[in-house]
Structure 1
Amino acid sequence: MTTTISASGSLKRLTTAFGGAILALFLAMFGALVAPAAAHAEVNDLEYSADNTTWGGLEQIPAIEGQLVPGEELSSTFYARNNTERGGILQVYLGNWTISRGMQAYVRVEINDASGPRVDLTTLEEAVPGTELNAIRVDPGQTAKVSLVVGMPSEADNGSQNGSVEPNFSLDFEVDGALETTTTVTVPGAAKIDEAVNLSAVVKGPQGDAVGGTVQFQADGNDIGDAVALVNGEATLQYTFTDAGDYEITAIYSGTDGFNGSVSEAQEVSVTDGDGNGGGDGGGSSNFGSS
């Protein structure tokens, strides 16, 4: 007697998530592929591999072979790698499963060889689609080993071996919210009217340079020049003062997808009329946390 494992098509997770990768899989006996039934995700959020060496899309999820019998399990094991600049939570949920009358089967999920709870596929009230089967935090560039397991209890009778079950799993990657940033502005301590000087800003996140966005420089709270694109975490404005005086210079980072905006602490530039009157000596820099 044999048991068939299959699925009827696409799955959308029934519980609320912040988005990320939602992957529905179906399993089939006797060498049929473990393949995605639906992918509602940003393609670059996760990468997949069957051997932790060759990486790609969902096609890297391996085949499953064998016969489900009492006391044994079948599994599909693959690796999922966080391909974003932010950490997140990798979660596996029970999907929209079906099972024939008299059939006994269960599912569970291992992540990094640690198993989540066994869920018996009895009734929809007891095995609710959307139930979390396992979860783990995955930081940028890190990898998680995932095993989707379907088993038959050892006490299953002949009716189970004649039946069929359609398990379904949903893999969700919930990316962290935007990262806090710190903006540092650096200015010359002194300048002369009608002579260009460089005003620069550096924007950092918790793990290095912020990516994307612009920096708007201000003098005494007023915009000077156009916003400057952030490149490799830095932005520089070449600016010419036309009036002598002391100016408080700040840099305002716009923020972007994945990074919150921030404002630097002000630094003073003393601008003279060219005769050496006024001004200051040396440069300075300071920083201020995210706004």
Structure 2
Amino acid sequence: MISFRTVVKIFLVGLQIVVISSSLAYFIYHYFAGSYSHRFHYAELRQGSLKSDFIFSILGMQYPNNADVLHERSVAFNKRGMYARGFQLLDSAVHIDPASHLGYRGWIKLHMLRDYKGALRDFLRQDALTADHVDYPMSENIHFLKAICYDKLGDHETALTCFDTARTSSMDGFVDYKIDLYKAIVLFQNNRETNAAAIFRQVLEQYPKCSEAYYYLARIYKHSNRKDEAATCASLARAYYLQGYKLKNAYNEMPYEIYLEDINLLNCQITSTQVSTNGNADRN
């Protein structure tokens, strides 16, 4: 008769075998033997981890001409600022399938590297390859992205034209408010304040809590000596900024991003001007 202790030992050994076999099967399936779509999705959801990068490296060896694998593997490196490795992978993806990956590479060059010439080249090439439709790299209208590049390279008139093209080429009801906001900022920076102010007010009709629109309107009103309106807009800019209604990205500075220090300085300038003016009025 088998003792109870022996039964327990057999059970524990069997349990260990089951656990080890299950773990090994799980490892082999998720890393080596599962379907391409399953492993790609599994690694994509764990982006940035060693596990994710290892799975993508295995997929890369198994599917050497698959540009999507190279693209997706590059994302974590670029987010970390490891651009040498990130672009080694991304450039390979573009080489294999330029129409699908040029836009993303241009977006990374624009927003993360501030390589406006390189970004513009990628966007123009993307446009030429997909002339039958409007591309949306990282969900942003490609004409909008080209406009930013042109502005940063000093070609402001072409930038304004591209902002207009971005607006007219966007589907009704899906026009990104930043298209108008950025256009107004470019107009403001080129001393076309009347036109800029009209567009900033239009932006606020669409997005009433836009701190950037209030900030620039405050500057325009200040220049026009409309001190009370300037003070009101500057106060609203600060309030909405502090509530989180601002251009912000966790990985990079936005092209026309403003900071709380900018708003506070403007508030101080407006307040000091008002105090000075009121003081002179009292003395008169």
How high is the TM-score relative to the length of structure 2? Answer: 0.20
How high is the TM-score relative to the length of structure 1? Answer: 0.19
Higher relative contact order (CA 8 A, sep 6+): 1
**Is the helix fraction higher in 1 or 2?**
2
Larger Rg: 1
